[in-house]
Amino acid sequence: MLPDRGARSVPAEARAALLLLGPGLAVITFFFLIPIAASLLLSFTDFDIYALGSFRNVRLVGLANYARLVQDPLFWISLRNTFYFVLVGGPLTLGVALAAALLLHARLTRWKGFFRTVYFAPYVTTLVAVAIVFRYLYHPKFGLLNRGLGILGIPAIDWLGDPRWAMPAIILLSVWKNFGYAMILFIAGLQSIPESLYEAARMDGAGPWTVFRKITLPMLAPTFLFLGVMTTIGYFQFFAEPYVMTGGGGPLNATLSTGLLMYKQGFRWWSMGYAASISFVLFLIILAFTMVQFRIERRRNA
């Protein structure tokens, strides 16, 4: 922690700071911080389509929305789907990213810039557009994926129509789209490991697997923590994939995410009080996951 240089205030600079910070902080306060606080308040009200007509129709209902939540089967289904997506998709994304980073970082590798660009490209594409592309790639009859599997002798799968396969299909799209981002940070992490550590290990006669486990992985711990937190936060909010690919959470709600449920309740049925309680529970879950990851990292360091 740096010493608080801001503590020694210079009047002219403080006045300038007020002017320079004002607009940015106003935007963040007005359009982000206040809405977050308001979201908690909203979750204690019965804000619905009538309230949208006149705010006088809003009543405080205490914890009624949360009581409704725990009895809503759709909420539990959405939560299960969301956890499935985060707990399977997250590690898979980071695993593929680490593998790609190791291949790209290897000393023998040539055309590194080319491969890096190719692997990273999906990350900059528009999610809605590539979700539509994957919809066709997943077509049971005409899709390229089943064609490729067919050549290997694997029978056709109804990727987006079968409740068991719809979520894996969405996870596959997300891994393809996002691994490039994590790969870039893993490469940066790998580059920051001093060569002398590797040399010392090799002098001690450690094989490649031991070097990987005893040096590479521990040295990448900060990268893992950052990516773990970012991926968790991002994946818990997944929304556009089921919106575009499975007609809003099908088949049989197999891809209904909590984010999508919140959107439907809030912006399609205008049950904004109820939707706010959904968003707040999701927020608490994300917060808990973030804390646990920081805790694990701290314990590992202790």
Query: Within 70-99, which residues bind another protein (CB under 8 A)?
Result: none
Residue ranges in 143-172 that form contacts with another protein under rule CB under 8 A: 143-144, 147
- Residues of the chain by 3-state class (helix, strand, coil), percent to 5: 75, 0, 25
- Least distance (Å) between residue 163 CB and another protein: 20
Size of the residue set binding another protein (CB under 8 A): 97
Candidates 50, 57, 60, 117; binder of another protein (CB under 8 A) is 117
Candidates 64, 88, 92, 103; binder of another protein (CB under 8 A) is 103
For residue 66, state whether it binds another protein (rule: CB under 8 A): no
- The CA distance from 256 to 101, in Å, is 32
Residue ranges in 201-220 that form contacts with another protein under rule CB under 8 A: none
- Least distance (Å) between residue 59 CB and another protein: 16
- The CA distance from 121 to 119, in Å, is 6
For residue 302, state whether it binds another protein (rule: CB under 8 A): no
- Least distance (Å) between residue 212 CB and another protein: 15
Question: Cβ of 252: how many Cβ atoms within 10 Å?
Answer: 11
Candidates 49, 60, 67, 133; binder of another protein (CB under 8 A) is 133
For residue 251, state whether it binds another protein (rule: CB under 8 A): no
For residue 288, state whether it binds another protein (rule: CB under 8 A): no
Peptide bond into 251 cis (omega under 30): yes
Candidates 77, 157, 185, 256; binder of another protein (CB under 8 A) is 185
For residue 109, state whether it binds another protein (rule: CB under 8 A): yes
Give the residue carrying structure tokens 């089967």. 73
Per-residue binding letters, 19-48, with another protein (x by CB under 8 A):
xxx-xxx-xx-xxxxxxx-xx--x------
| Segment contacting another protein by CB under 8 A, of 82-90, 104-112, 161-169, 209-217 | 104-112
For residue 68, state whether it binds another protein (rule: CB under 8 A): no
Residues 119 and 183: beta-carbon distance below 8 Å: yes
- The CA distance from 237 to 257, in Å, is 8
DSSP string, 49-66: HHHHH-GGG--B-TTHHH
Residues 44 and 60: beta-carbon distance below 8 Å: yes
Candidates 201, 215, 240, 296; binder of another protein (CB under 8 A) is 240
Candidates 63, 87, 154, 188; binder of another protein (CB under 8 A) is 188
- The sign of the CA dihedral 145, 147, 152, 155 is positive
- The contacts found for 283-286 with CB under 8 angstroms, 24 or more apart, are 285/236, 286/232, 286/233, 286/236
